[in-house]
């Protein structure tokens, strides 16, 4: 009976990949939604090699620095424009 149940058993399917391991999902979350908070998605993903993980981490660090610099420059430009509007006329 045991041999018969083994023969009629359905073949085992490989486990489905988790949705949060999808490469495009991880990259989208990393660069457009979470920023550096998305790095755990990169490091836990088994589909990325160590080299890819290090490269994405360095790119995210550079991306974050550029965005912070852009934010500071924009703030300074706005404050200078507002300050020039508020100076009293002679």
For residue range 61-74, list pLDDT tens digits in order: 999 999 999 999 99
Q: Is residue 74 part of a domain?
A: yes
Total number of domains in the chain:
1
Q: Is residue 2 part of a domain?
A: no
Angstrom distance (rounded) from CA 35 to CA 81: 30
Q: Is residue 66 part of a domain?
A: yes
Range of the domain at 21: 16-83
Global confidence as pTM: 0.68
User: Which of 70, 62, 71, 74 is CA-nearest to residue 30?
Assistant: 62
Per-residue pLDDT of 22-78, as tens digits, reads: 888 888 888 888 888 999 999 999 999 999 999 999 999 999 999 999 999 999 999
Residue 87 parent element (H or E):
none
Q: Is residue 34 part of a domain?
A: yes
**18 pLDDT more than 60:** yes
Q: Is residue 9 part of a domain?
A: no
User: Which of 32, 48, 4, 6 is CA-nearest to residue 40?
Assistant: 48
**3 pLDDT more than 70:** no
């Amino acid at each position: 009976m045991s041999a018969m149940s083994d023969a009629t058993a359905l073949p085992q399917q490989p486990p489905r990949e988790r949705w949060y391991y999808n490469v495009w999902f991880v990259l989208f979350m990393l660069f457009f939604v979470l920023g550096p908070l998305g790095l755990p998605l990169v490091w836990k993903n088994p589909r990325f090699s160590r080299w890819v993980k290090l490269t994405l981490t360095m790119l995210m660090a550079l991306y974050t620095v550029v965005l912070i610099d852009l934010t500071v420059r924009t703030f300074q430009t706005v404050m200078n424009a507002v300050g020039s509007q508020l100076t009293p006329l002679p």
